[in-house]
Structure 1
Amino acid sequence: MHLLYTDEVNVDPCSSDFFIYGGVSVDANQAASLSRRIDLLRQEHGYEPEDLLKFNTRERPHTISPETHREIKRRVIEEAAAHDALLFASFILHGIAASPEEARRKEINRVCFNFDCFLRERDEYGIVLIDMFTDNNLPQILREKFSIGLSGLPYSDRYRLERVLGFHLASIGSSNFSSVVDIVLGSLRYAVNCLDDPSRQDVVRTLLSQLAPLCLKNDDGSIRELSLFFSPVRVRVPEYYQQYQNLRDSLTRNGLGGIETRQEWGK
């Protein structure tokens, strides 16, 4: 059994080019050990039981220094990798999505589909735990994801996720795994948004090197499309295609090579 905790970053199109939806999968056989390790890290670094552990430095407890906060985030990612946690993430340009809400709907589907494919490869099963977001239809969305599956796909009206046994809500502070996905996706967000900033290249390289062990890989070491994915499958506008290519090239230079970008010219 695998537990996929999901979240979203880069929701505001005014402050970022790519909306990112992703999740971190934890093998249930390793979940208790990983949770205990994060409990120990919290204690070692001076976190009180009620303190939230998140990526954003401005949201750290006032008793925790920036240096301590930076170190515990590094250790959390390190422990996640040591416990065979896996990253699933999808990128879509805000310029392509009609709205952040549409981007969320599309990329939840993509991440859940890739997770289901991963489970089928392993002949295993999983549960998806979605971080809460503001939507009056949220309970209905979860019911439809389970009972109907994915809808509005290019080649099928409906696709039941046979390997996903349930969809549930999660929130920061309700488990240590919510902290894991917040830190992992926060690191990915920061790195992606700073790829073109010459003054932050050391930080970008450091963050992406920390995330690389969480990605599914091909035999040649490249990142599998199940793990990191550009959405949509084919980009029809040359300007948008170039933005994906630039992101792909930057990620490749920093150790996350292999993500595919496809284009349909003149369509």
Structure 2
Amino acid sequence: MDLLYCDESNLENRAGEFLLYGGIRIPVERAASLSARIETLRAEAGLEPDTRLKFNPAPDGLSHEQFRSLKQSIIEAAIEHNCELLAYVVLHDLAGNPDAARRFGINTVCYHYHCALSRLERDGIVLIDRFNDEGNQIDGHLTEKMAIGVQLPHRAVPTRLTRIIGFHYSAIGQSHFTSLIDILISSLRWAINVHSRDQVNFRENAVGLLAALSPLFFRYNGRETVPDIGFCFSPMNVRVPGYHGRYIALQEFLREAGISSEQTVTNNPN
């Protein structure tokens, strides 16, 4: 049995930037140990039990370096506990409505989680970070994932996510794993934004942060490259050359940090 804690980042619709959605797969046999390790790291950093830990802002009493070290230690703890990261990105210029894009991100990550579970011959539960979207469509959306599955391109009927036995909500502070996924996805967002915004002064730090995240990405059989299950660029075909160039540039940036995508983002005008 596995747990998949999910979260989004960069939801604000800004031209030239990417919306992110992702989940961290936690083997249930390692979950208690990981939770205890994060609890210890929090205590060692001097955090009060009711302090809500996120990527930002820094908890009261922690310097920038202390907070950075705490987040680094939490990332390392996830790696040590055999957790795996599944991520999805889409350019805002192509995504349109951010709420709709987030729901599509949920579809993609949940389907890839199902695929990963199938390969591992395991079952799992999905825990979505609670949010309020336009018209509160998320409730029905998750019910649909459980009852019907996802509609994949070129398939007449939806694909059932048979390896996932439940879709539920979570919120920051209700588990140490909500802090973990917030730190992971927000770290990824910060690094990608450094690239997208051409913030040259932060580029070295961004590459270093991505290198720290790299071991977490889902890979097959010890391969160094990352399949689209681990990191998915959406859509797979980008017809507008300028937008396509942004996807290729992001892939090249990620490769600098050891996140080498196997996915080919095509530029087929037809």
Q: TM tier, shorter chain?
A: over 0.9
Are the aligned partners of 2:237 and 2:268 in contact in 1 as well (CA < 8 Å)? no
Asked if the contact 1:244/1:261 (under 8 Å) is kept, the reply is no
Matches within 5 A, 1:134-213: 134-135=132-133, 136-151=136-151, 153-195=153-195, 196-213=198-215
Match of 2:109 in 1: 111
Q: Quick one: which amino acid aligns to residue 216 of structure 1?
A: F
Matched, 1:100 2:98: yes
TM-score calculated relative to the size of structure 2: 0.94
Alpha-carbon displacement from aligned partner over 1:153-205 (angstroms, at most 9, x marks no partner): 44244121000000000001000000110000011001101123221122112
Secondary structure class of the residue paired with 2:21? strand
Normalising by structure 1, what TM-score?
0.95
- Asked whether the equivalents of residues 103 and 138 of structure 2 are also in contact (C-alpha less than 8 Å), the reply is no
Which 10-residue stretch deviates more, 111-120 or 154-163?
154-163
Amino acid aligned to 1:54:
K
SS state of the match for residue 255, structure 1?
A: coil
1:220 offset after TM fit, Å? 4.5
Q: CA–CA distance in 1 between the matches of 2:210 and 2:44? A: 25
Equivalent pair of 2:15/2:93 in contact (CA under 8 Å):
no
Query: Which of 250, 253, 256 lines up with 1:247 in the alignment?
Result: 250
2-structure distance, mates of 1:181, 1:31: 14
Change (3 A) 1:203 1:142: same
Q: Does 1:261 align with 2:264?
A: yes
The number of equivalent residue pairs is 265
Provide the alpha-carbon RMSD of the alignment: 1.5
Tell me the amino acid that sits aligned with residue 38 of structure 2.
I
| Structure 2, unpaired ranges of 5+ | none
- Contact 2:16-2:91 within 8 A present in 1 as well: no
- Secondary structure of 1:262's counterpart equals coil
Q: Which deviates more from structure 2 when the two are superposed, residues 149-158 or residues 193-202?
A: 149-158
**Could you say which residue in structure 1 is the equivalent of 2:45?**
45
Question: 1:209: Cα distance to partner?
Answer: 1.1
Distance 1:156 1:234 in 2: 20
Residues 220, 167 of structure 1: alpha-carbon distance in 2 compared, 3 angstrom cutoff: closer
Q: Is the 8 A contact 1:90 1:229 kept in 2?
A: yes
How far residue 140 of structure 1 moved from its aligned partner, in angstroms, is: 1.7
| Contact 1:114/1:226 (<8 A) preserved | yes
Output the CA distance in 1 between the equivalents of 2:192 and 2:216: 16
**Residue type at the aligned position of 1:211:** L
Q: Which runs of 5+ in 1 are unaligned?
A: none
State the distance in 1 between where 2:59 and 2:189 align.
21
1:90 maps to: 88
User: Could you tell me how far apart the structure 1 residues matched to 2:236 and 2:59 are?
Assistant: 41
Displacement of 1:212: 0.8
> Share of identical aligned residues, percent?
39
Q: Deviations over 1:8-38 (max 9, x none)?
A: 0010122761001001010000000000000
Deviates more, 1:146-155 or 1:110-119: 146-155
Report the secondary structure of 2:62's partner residue.
coil
TM-aligned CA deviation for residue 152 of structure 1: 6.4
Match of 2:229 in 1: 226
